[in-house]
Amino acid sequence: MVREGLFSMLLETRPIFKNREFLRPSYTPEELPHRDSQIHQLARILAAPLRGETPSNILIYGKTGTGKTASVKYVTRELEKVSDRSPLKVKLVYINCEEVNTKYRILATLANTFLEKLRCSRDAVELPESVPMTGWPTDEVYKCFFRAMDGEKQLAVIVLDEIDKLVLKSGDEVLYNLTRMNSDLKNSKVSIIGISNDLNFMNYLDPRVRSSLSEEELVFHPYNALQLKDILEKRAKISFVDGVIEDGVISLCAANAAREHGDARRALDLLRVAGELAERQGDEKVSVDHVRRAYEKIEQDKMVEVIKTLPSQSKLVLYSIVILMERMPRSIVSGEVYSVYRDLCSQAGLDVLTQRRVGDLISELDLLGVISAKIVSKGRQGRTKEIKLNVHPTQVMAAIQGEQLVTIDTLKLSRQLTLV
DNA sequence: AATCCACAGGAAGCCCGGGAAC
DNA sequence: GTTCCCGGGCTTCCTGTGGATT
C-alpha cells in the first residue's frame, strides 16, 4: 500500500525543473544581460591581435557574482570560434589560481597545455611529452613552456582567475615572467587576462608588473535588484517548467542578493534551492515561503562548511557548547564551557589549552558567526561571556563527525560523563 | 561607598614548522 | 645541509571591569 502511494505520488507530482543545470554557477549562459559594455570592450581588446597588433593584457575587477568569469568565458569562447577563419590561431588557457597557486604549478599547467597541442599537430622530438607536476627546476619548466608555445604561430590567451590569491600566496614573479614573454616570442603572442575580487591586490605588485598587467582595466559593478530580477527571469524561463514560479519569488531572490553586494551567483543559488525544496516536498509551485526557507538552508550550509574547516581544538570548544546547550537550554557562560572542554580533552587524550587561549577561540567562533557571545556582568558572580549557539546542534554534530582526533565514540563517552 | 567575583583581554615571550638565504 | 627569519599558536602574567552584595 505504502509503496503504491509512494510511487503514485512521485508520478502524479508535476515536475518543477526543466533543467536545473542552468541555475548552477558552472553554467556559462548564451547571453549575459547587463554586461554588454564590458563584453564589447573585452572583445575589442582581444580582437586586436587578430589584426596583427600586439595584444594588451587585461585586468578585471569586481565582487563575486558580478559576471566576471562568465563574461570572459563567453568572449573567449566566441574568439576561439572566429579564430578558425583567422590566420592567427587562438589558444585559450583558463587557470583558477585558487587551486593552481604556485609559480611552478602555473608554468607546468601552461607547459602541458601547449605540449599536448603540439603533439597533436606534429611530433616535436626535442621536447618532452609532459612536465611532471613536481620535481623540475622552475626555470626548466618555463623554458619548456616557452618553446612549446613558440613552436607555432598562435595567440595564447591566458586567463588567471582569482589572480589576487596567486599574488598573495606566491608573489608576482610568475606574472613578471608572463608579462615579459611577448618581447622574446618569435612566432606567437600572449595575452593575459587577470580576474580579481580584490581591488587592492595591485598594491602588492612590482610596479613593472602592475603597469604591464593593467594595460586595459575593466570594472564589473555589482548588479542592482532590477538587473538581478531580469537575470533570474531569463534563467528561470529555461530551467523551470512554465508557470511553477509564484509571483514575488523572483523579486524576493533578487532583493536578497542585491543586499549582499549584488551577487548573481547567490541569487541563482537561492532560486535553485527554493525550487529543490518545493520539489522535495511535492509542491507544484515555488512560493516565497520556499525562498525564505532556502535562504535559511543556504546560511546553515555555509555554517556547516565553516565548522568543518575549524581546527580540532576549536571544534572541541564548540562541542562543549553544544553539550551545555543540550544540558541546559538557558544561557551558557564561558567558565562552564572551559570546564566541559577540559573534561572532553582528558577523555579524548588531547592537550588542554589554557583558559586564556580558549577565551580567544570562543571570540573567533563569535567572529565567524557560529556562536554569539556578549559580555555580561553578574555583580558578585563576576563578569563573563554569555554564549548562544547560532547553528542547530545536530548540524554541529554532523560537521564534527569526520574529525579523526575526536572520534564520535569518544564524544559520546565524554558526553555521558559530563552529563552527571 | 567599598568590596569582590569571574572572568575579559592586553603584553611579552616561548616554541615550532616552513621557507628563504647562505 | 645549515642558519636565519618569520608568523602563528600558545602560555604566563597581568590589569581592568560592571554591578550585586556587604
The domain segmentation of chain A, as residue ranges, is 6-18+224-306, 35-220, 310-417
Q: What is the mean pLDDT of residues A339-356?
A: 91
Nearest nt by C1' to A381 Cα: B5
The answer to whether A93 and A158 have CB atoms below 8 angstroms apart is: yes
Query: How sure is the predictor about A405, in pLDDT bands with cuts at 50, 70 and 90?
Result: very low
Helix (H, G, I), strand (E, B) or coil at A340: helix
- Whether A414 has a pLDDT exceeding 60, the answer reads no
pLDDT value for A31: 83
Helix (H, G, I), strand (E, B) or coil at A342: helix
- Whether A366 has a pLDDT exceeding 80, the answer reads yes
CA of residue A334 to C1' of nucleotide C7, angstroms = 28
Q: Tell me which residue has cell 560537521.
A: A399
Distance CA A223, CA A67 (A): 9
Nearest nt by C1' to A357 Cα: C10
Reading the block at residue A73, the C-alpha cell is 568565458
More confident residue, A366 or A97: A366
pLDDT value for A210: 83
CA of residue A381 to C1' of nucleotide C20, angstroms = 8
- Whether A7 has a pLDDT exceeding 80, the answer reads no
CA of residue A171 to C1' of nucleotide C1, angstroms = 26
Q: Tell me which residue has cell 589572480.
A: A163
- Among candidate residues A168, A170, A216, the one with its CA nearest the CA of residue A191: A216
- Among candidate residues A177, A198, A186, A122, the one with its CA nearest the CA of residue A149: A186
Could you check: is the Cβ of residue A374 within 7 Å of any atom of nucleic acid strand B? Answer: no
Q: Does domain A6-18+224-306 match CATH 1.20.1090.10?
A: no
Range with lowest mean pLDDT among A121-135, A284-298, A380-394: A121-135
Q: Which of residues 317-356 of A touch strand C (CB under 7 A)?
A: 351-354, 356
Could you check: is the Cβ of residue A383 within 7 Å of any atom of nucleic acid strand C? Answer: yes
Could you check: is the Cβ of residue A378 within 7 Å of any atom of nucleic acid strand C? Answer: yes
pLDDT value for A403: 59
Query: How sure is the predictor about A208, in pLDDT bands with cuts at 50, 70 and 90?
Result: confident
Q: Is the dihedral of CA A60, A66, A68, A74 positive or negative?
A: negative
pLDDT value for A127: 65
- Whether A1 has a pLDDT exceeding 60, the answer reads no
Distance CA A140, CA A138 (A): 5
Considering the segment(s) A35-220 as one domain, its CATH architecture is 3-Layer(aba) Sandwich (3.40)
CA of residue A381 to C1' of nucleotide C22, angstroms = 14
Q: What is the mean pLDDT of residues A203-221?
A: 83
Could you check: is the Cβ of residue A385 within 7 Å of any atom of nucleic acid strand B? Answer: yes
- Whether A409 has a pLDDT exceeding 60, the answer reads no
Which nucleotides of strand B lie under 7 Å from a protein CB? 3-11
pLDDT value for A408: 42
Distance CA A186, CA A150 (A): 7
Distance CA A131, CA A148 (A): 11
- Among candidate residues A147, A224, A213, the one with its CA nearest the CA of residue A180: A213
Which nucleotides of strand C lie under 7 Å from a protein CB? 9-14, 16-21
Distance CA A397, CA A321 (A): 11
Could you check: is the Cβ of residue A382 within 7 Å of any atom of nucleic acid strand C? Answer: yes
- Whether A223 has a pLDDT exceeding 80, the answer reads yes
- Whether A404 has a pLDDT exceeding 50, the answer reads no
CA of residue A376 to C1' of nucleotide C20, angstroms = 13
More confident residue, A39 or A12: A39
- Residue nearest the C1' of C21 (CA based): A380
pLDDT value for A320: 94
CA of residue A316 to C1' of nucleotide C13, angstroms = 26
Q: What is the CA radius of gyration of chain A?
A: 27
Nearest nt by C1' to A352 Cα: C10
Could you check: is the Cβ of residue A380 within 7 Å of any atom of nucleic acid strand B? Answer: yes
Distance CA A72, CA A159 (A): 8
Nearest nt by C1' to A380 Cα: B5
pLDDT value for A120: 61
- Whether A361 has a pLDDT exceeding 70, the answer reads yes
Q: What is the mean pLDDT of residues A395-417?
A: 60
CA of residue A378 to C1' of nucleotide C12, angstroms = 27
Q: Residue A47 has what DSSP assignment?
A: H
Query: How sure is the predictor about A178, in pLDDT bands with cuts at 50, 70 and 90?
Result: confident
What share of chain A in percent tops pLDDT 90? 32
Secondary-structure class of domain A310-417 per CATH: mainly alpha
pLDDT value for A258: 92
CA of residue A149 to C1' of nucleotide C16, angstroms = 65
A239-289 confidence digits (pLDDT tens) = 888 888 888 899 999 999 998 888 999 999 999 999 999 988 888 889 999
CA of residue A129 to C1' of nucleotide C2, angstroms = 37
Query: How sure is the predictor about A10, in pLDDT bands with cuts at 50, 70 and 90?
Result: low
Q: What's the whole-number average pLDDT of chain A? A: 83
What share of chain A in percent tops pLDDT 70? 86
Question: Which span out of A53-57, A81-85, A193-197 was modeled with the highest average pLDDT?
Answer: A193-197
Question: What is the reported pTM?
Answer: 0.73
Could you check: is the Cβ of residue A354 within 7 Å of any atom of nucleic acid strand B? Answer: no
Range with lowest mean pLDDT among A91-105, A288-302, A350-364: A91-105
Distance CA A233, CA A238 (A): 9
More confident residue, A71 or A82: A71
Range with lowest mean pLDDT among A53-67, A154-168, A169-183, A327-341: A169-183
Nearest nt by C1' to A312 Cα: C9
Query: Phi, psi (5° rounding) for residue A221?
Result: -80, 155
CA of residue A200 to C1' of nucleotide C14, angstroms = 39
CA of residue A370 to C1' of nucleotide B14, angstroms = 31
CA of residue A353 to C1' of nucleotide B15, angstroms = 15
